[in-house]
Amino acid sequence: MTISKEQIIQYFKSGIKEKKDFKIGIEHEKFLFDSKNNKRIDYSKVKEMFSALNEFGWNSIKEGENIVGLNKEGKNITLEPGNQIELSGEKLNNIHEACAESYDYLFELKQVTKKLDIKIVSSGFDPISKLHEIPNNPKQRYKLMTNDMPLGGELSLDMMYRTCGTQLNIDYSSEEDFFKKFKVVNSIVPISIALFANSSIVEKKKSDYLSYRSKVWQNTSRGGLPKLFFENLNFEKYADFIINFPILFILDKQKYISGNKYTFKDFMNGKIDEIKNRLPTESDLSLHLSTIFTENRLKKYIELRSMDTCGWDCLCAGPAFFIGMLYGNLDEVYSLISSWDNDKIINAYLDAPQKGFNTQLMGKDLFYWASTLLEISRKGLDDRDILNKSGKNETLFLNHLQKVIDNRTTNADHMITKFSKNEDLKDLYDK
């Protein structure tokens, strides 16, 4: 079935769920290094690692003859351009379940990496490697991206090969609920960047940034924070946005084809000669949506993408922070951000990777706003009152962020301290 604008709108509407059915999906990426030489692992090592993970019940995903990922019980491990790996978790009911899932995955991963002499780095940007030193892998789409992405953003290859992030997927109960949540998550991107900054070391040197990952994403093709996202956005306006958005690539007969000359509108109008002018299907739409690299994006759910990857101490903190606001206390946080000036948000967004908490927004620094949002989130999680087996609710996952606020010290600051003490970077590896 081919795709019309009305069908795209219906695609977004099909994501609407009752509040009782809201789920939480977490995705997080890791860098992997060979212990023997401190270099990023190559594809042969990836295959060894994937083979070892098969013993934990993971099943191989292949592209032709090449293993490019694993799956198990609704979870996927995918291979990123520079052999970073990403867990895309199941859609779960609460932070307790989502955090337990991450714990189980990391337990399995660490058994395997220890056996293969692989070290994990949980950082938003590779602190060690130069771009040209990073091995690639045989996934088709990445060859096209390596050629085409730099045309629209000078740091696009750094994004592909040297960044890792944590993403959160959340649901909406109506078009209005989508609008409120989307406006909130885009308005607080600067605060998210400052709070979860964890990429201050670049090429074995202290950088001028707390979140160099965010700096890179701001200079990546197809990324950024469009002004449209602050308007009275509905499904139709988002449909218009993605229809007029350039295509990155098209999957046709199991082969990826560059789309850099075309928009999705061209595709819908049958104007792509390379695929004999065929029209897009729902799977083409889904692929297109996954190649829009804005700070947040809409699929059949909202995907939040502004957090640096971090270690175990904050892996569950980010999702808890957002869930407390968006599922537990949406009206209060929406009321707070509704009076903010869009241009001032954009300015704060551009400043936050470098200035962190010292960035100004609406006459106050981001430390003030982070403290305020943390309390709103805490109230939301208290109201949800979802308990674990020990009788504790989801606020326990905010402990890391409370320490950040109490000490005014982020993971990026800790990274700088570790580096200052020991410049061989061994303290940056996950314990």
In a domain, 104, yes or no: yes
In a domain, 418, yes or no: yes
In a domain, 281, yes or no: no
Half-sphere exposure (Cβ direction) of 366: Cα atoms closer than 13 Å = 30
In a domain, 265, yes or no: no
What pLDDT sits at residue 329? 98
Residue with tokens 């940056």: 428
Domain CATH for 59: 3.30.590.20
Report phi then psi at 141, rounded to 5: -60, -30
Cα distance between residue 261 and residue 247, in whole Å = 8
Condensed to tens digits (0 to 9), the pLDDT of residues 368-378 reads 999 999 999 99
What pLDDT sits at residue 424? 65
In a domain, 338, yes or no: yes
Condensed to tens digits (0 to 9), the pLDDT of residues 345-362 reads 999 999 999 999 999 999
Structural domain range at position 124 = 5-245+292-423
Residue with tokens 């218009």: 240
In a domain, 262, yes or no: no
Decide: 49 and 34 in contact? Cβ < 8 Å. Answer: no
* 416-to-135, 202, 413 alpha-carbon distances in Å: 26, 11, 5
Tokens of 306: 């502004």
Tokens of 85: 């790996």
CB atoms within 10 A of CB 1: 8
What pLDDT sits at residue 423? 67
3-state secondary structure the chain: CCCCHHHHHHHHHCCCCCHHHCCEEEEEEEEEEECCCCEECCHHHHHHHHHHHHCCCCEEEEECCEEEEEEECCEEEEECCCCCEEEECCCECCHHHHHHHHHHHHHHHHHHHHHCCEEEECCCECCCCCHHHCCCCCCHHHHHHHHHHHHHCCCHHHHHHHECEEEEEECCCCHHHHHHHHHHHHHCHHHHHHHCCCECEECCEECCCCEHHHHHHHCCCCEECCHHHHCCCCHHHHHHHHHCCECCEEEECCEEEECCCCEHHHHHCCCCHHHCCCCCCHHHHHHHHCCCEECEEECCCEEEEEEECCCHHHHCHHHHHHHHHHCCCHHHHHHHHCCCCHHHHHHHHHHHHHHHHHCEECCEEHHHHHHHHHHHHHHHHHHHCCCCCCCCCHHHHHHHHHHHHHHCCCHHHHHHHHHHHCCCCHHHCCC
Cα distance between residue 40 and residue 82, in whole Å = 8
Taking only the tens of pLDDT, the chain with its 431 residues reads: 679 999 999 999 999 999 999 999 999 999 999 999 999 999 999 999 999 999 999 999 999 999 999 999 999 999 999 999 999 999 999 999 999 999 999 999 999 999 999 999 999 999 999 999 999 999 999 999 999 999 999 999 999 999 999 999 999 999 999 999 999 999 999 999 999 999 999 999 999 999 999 999 999 999 999 999 999 999 999 999 999 999 999 999 999 999 989 999 999 999 999 999 999 999 999 999 999 999 999 999 999 999 999 999 899 999 999 999 999 999 999 999 999 999 999 999 999 999 999 999 999 999 999 999 999 999 999 999 999 999 999 999 999 999 999 999 999 999 999 888 766 677 788 87
What pLDDT sits at residue 421? 75
Q: Integer distance in angstroms from the first to the last C-alpha of the chain?
A: 50
What pLDDT sits at residue 35? 93
Which residues, in sequence order, are CB contacts of 10 under 8 Å at separation 6+?
A: none
Number of separate domains in the chain: 1
* 325-to-68, 230, 253, 260, 352 alpha-carbon distances in Å: 36, 18, 43, 38, 21
The pTM (predicted TM-score) of the whole model is 0.97
